[in-house]
Amino acid sequence: MNYVTIAPPAHLKSFVRYFWALEYTLAPGEQNYVYRSIADGCAEIVFHVKGLFDDLLDTSVQKGWRSGMHFQSSRYTRFITSEDFVIFGAYLYPYAVPLLFNFSAQEGSNLSVELDGFLSASDAKRLEEQIVLADNHAKRAEILSHYLSARLTTVQRKDESIIASIQQVIHSNQPHTVSRLANQANLSMRQFDRKFKHYAGFSPKFYAKISRLHDALERYSGHQTLTQIAVDCGYYDQSHFIHDVKAFTGYHPKAYFSGKAEGTQFREW
């Protein structure tokens, strides 16, 4: 399995966290590959350059798309393919959705939408063709950067204090109280909660829980105990840590951090 990330150009860094690509060739005798995405506070534009994944639902399988948008999610999702695959995507801050695409992040939460259901049909077709036919991932990043840059020219920056709060929750790696974030934004708790949901998709408290899980994933290297990870990430006790990991990944922490869980093969543990 090959996983790479590509930094966005400087003028897009406040909207795009990074571009990424994942490639895999099925081993001889391997009939399929199952990928599990976990709860995530960020959105992704995704292109299946080679191979297609179907959605594994509780009681059925739903045909997947070639290109689309995965919005921020509060739960894990499973996908399956019986083909070798190459996937390219852009990992976006959640507020990029309302600012670049004029679509409330809250309305998109937990949705996965085909690209031509989110962009104009002509834009979706042209962008998909350009990404799929590009020679390499660097070129794909360049193409998608150009498209997002064009949309950036129409952005009216407002509610900067909310955007700063979202970035703080994602990047500071420290527990945050909603009251303190609201005070920093100079807003009442009700105003802050409403605006935060519009730009991040979830309430500040719930969004912080998802971000704390991702902080734990970034901190884990295989050398620390899970108890130490829980303490470092601000969990009150081991039971809260276990509850959140199971809710957001579908696995007990010991199973998920073993490196053998679905969708963890690309992580460097």
- List the chain domain ranges: 2-152, 158-211, 220-269
* Over residues 155-163, mean pLDDT: 90
Which pLDDT value is given to residue 58?
Answer: 80
Supply the mean pLDDT for the chain. Answer: 93
Using pLDDT thresholds of 50, 70 and 90, give the confidence band for residue 60: confident
Which pLDDT value is given to residue 177?
Answer: 87
Query: Residues 130-151: pLDDT tens digits?
Result: 999 999 999 999 999 999 999 9
* Over residues 90-106, mean pLDDT: 96
Choose between 174 and 132: higher pLDDT: 132
Paired strand residues for 34: 80
Tell me which H or E stretch contains 154.
none
Across 67-193, the runs of DSSP E, i.e. the strands, are 67-70, 77-81, 85-92, 112-114
Least confident of 45-49, 64-68, 169-173, 244-248: 169-173
On the 0-12 / 13-18 / 19+ scale of CB atoms within 10 A, 204 is buried
**In the 8-state DSSP scheme, what is residue 202?**
S
Q: Which CATH superfamily is 2-152 part of?
A: Jelly Rolls (2.60.120.10)
C-alpha dist (Å) from residue 251 to 97, 109, 212, 264: 29, 22, 16, 12
Which pLDDT value is given to residue 268?
Answer: 66
Asked whether the predicted pLDDT for residue 269 surpasses 60, the reply is: no
Give me 115's structure tokens: 């690209």
